[in-house]
Amino acid sequence: MQLKMYMMLLPALLCWPQTAPAEFQLKTDDRVVFFGDTVVHTQLFTKYVETFVRVRYPELKTRFFNSGQRNETAADGLARLERDLGPTSPTVVVVAFGLHDPGGKPLDEGRLAEFRKNITGIAEGIQKLGARTVLLTPPRPIVQQLRSMPAVNYVEVVGKYAQAIREVGESRQVPVVDWFRSSSELYQNNTPQPPRRRQGELLPKGLAHAVVAAQLLKHWQAEPIDVRITADWESETASVSSGRAKIKTRTEQELKLELTGVPLPWGVAGVKPQDLEAARWPGAELCRYVLQIDNVPESGVNLVLGGRKIALEREQLRHGVNIMGWPPIQVRNRTLRDMLTAITRKHRRWFEYRLAVRRGPPPEPELLEAFESSLRTFQLYEDGYAKLVMRLPKVFDVTLSFRVPPDETGADQVKQAED
């Protein structure tokens, strides 16, 4: 992989226009429910949204619930609307159906009309609960291995369902976040890899989930996670916009930059580092983790990762490099992993609760007390994990080590390591 694909110069980030901060639309007492099909159940974009809110707004006590069900249609969602949303008392509901509704078949106008009716019913039902609603159009499906019909046709079919959601949103005055359009634009420049398993052939990959998470956060007027790190190789000075920075070691050949108490980066696990760093995806402006080092030796330096290296040019570091996707910041960040794990387990407990409610109580009266106790246990676990996520640190410490290559030709520079 070429170096330029990994390290992106972002001079525009260093002169970001100064505007009055928008007011984030989620409040501390909000209860946000992601309600939908497989794209919700997979816990990708939902987890991306929650980790961002936790890091950017650490004092906000907004609760998040995942109410996704695999392979469901809007009709299935309408049938379980009251049962699944009732226990959460939601104030905000994000609705995501439409990927499975066409059934992998050519366009059926009757089926499309029924889908429109069911989405309208879901929007009306949420409004009766007094919750604010956001409708997501389905993502552009990945259909390279779909054998039942030509891939292009099925993309067009899903596009018709996306249009139906836009129309429902307009008629009901409900905001729509257009995942179909943004994922289609994404795939124009990033061809998705064919899925390994047939059952996953329609599902978007991690970057497409990160894109819709960014769209949703922008809809709620989220302010970016904006961390600026500066250092000077010659004067041994360093600073960071939030937290503390100092030069731990400095020689002509080596510099170690120690960062403590800096905000966590946006946790979008499973997305390739070069995609996180590139400014071509909408989420790039929501997490600006920019490193600038002056007076770097002419030969450039290597970021040292154990026995591996990432080559960096002097001009890159002088102008500023987006380091959000660097392995020490993302992949090797234990604090971030702990938060992602706790959020996953929290949603898992809530799924187990919903699954038990769906199955219903056992017919044997001797087991009824145990059934009710298990429901309460799942709820307690979910609540406990929610409190744990709130308690977990939102800052971390890291040391970045840079080393000058042996000669000015940079002959020993290697391609960056993939993590």
Q: Supply the CATH number for residue 101's domain.
A: 3.40.50.1110
Query: Tokens 């695999």 appear where?
Result: 70
pTM (2 d.p.): 0.87
- Same-domain check for residues 28 and 140: yes
- Same-domain check for residues 28 and 132: yes
- Same-domain check for residues 114 and 248: no
Can you give the residue range of the structural domain that contains 193? Answer: 23-219
- Same-domain check for residues 142 and 258: no
- Same-domain check for residues 6 and 115: no
DSSP-assigned letter for residue 94: E
| Res 397: pLDDT | 96
Final residue of a structural domain among 195, 219, 243: 219
CB 193 within 8 A of CB 215: no
Distance CA 351, CA 344 (A): 11
| Res 143: pLDDT | 66
Laid out side by side, the sheet with 63-68 consists of 63-68, 31-36, 92-96, 132-136, 176-177
| Res 151: pLDDT | 57
- Report residue 62 CA to chain centroid gap: 17
- Same-domain check for residues 214 and 273: no
- Same-domain check for residues 100 and 140: yes
- Same-domain check for residues 169 and 310: no
pLDDT in tens, 124-143: 999 999 999 999 999 998 76
Task: Say how many residues make up the chain.
Answer: 419
Distance CA 200, CA 99 (A): 12
- Same-domain check for residues 39 and 15: no
The residues with which 289 forms a beta bridge, in sequence order, are: 227
Final residue of a structural domain among 198, 219, 240: 219
Bridging pattern class, strands 237-240 and 308-312? unpaired
Distance CA 285, CA 212 (A): 14
Task: Give, for all 419 residues of the chain, the pLDDT tens digit.
Answer: 333 433 443 333 334 444 556 799 999 999 999 999 999 999 999 999 999 999 999 999 999 999 999 999 999 999 999 999 999 999 999 999 999 999 888 899 999 999 999 999 999 999 999 999 999 999 998 765 555 556 568 889 999 999 999 999 999 999 999 999 999 988 876 555 544 444 445 788 888 999 999 999 999 999 999 999 999 999 989 999 999 999 999 999 999 999 999 999 998 877 877 777 666 777 888 988 899 999 999 999 999 987 788 899 999 999 998 888 888 888 889 999 999 999 999 999 999 999 999 999 999 999 999 999 999 999 999 999 999 999 999 999 999 999 998 754 444 443 443 44
Provide the domain count of the chain.
Answer: 2
- Same-domain check for residues 143 and 291: no
Amino acid (1-letter code) at residue 120: T
- Same-domain check for residues 76 and 106: yes
- Same-domain check for residues 200 and 235: no
Final residue of a structural domain among 185, 219, 253: 219
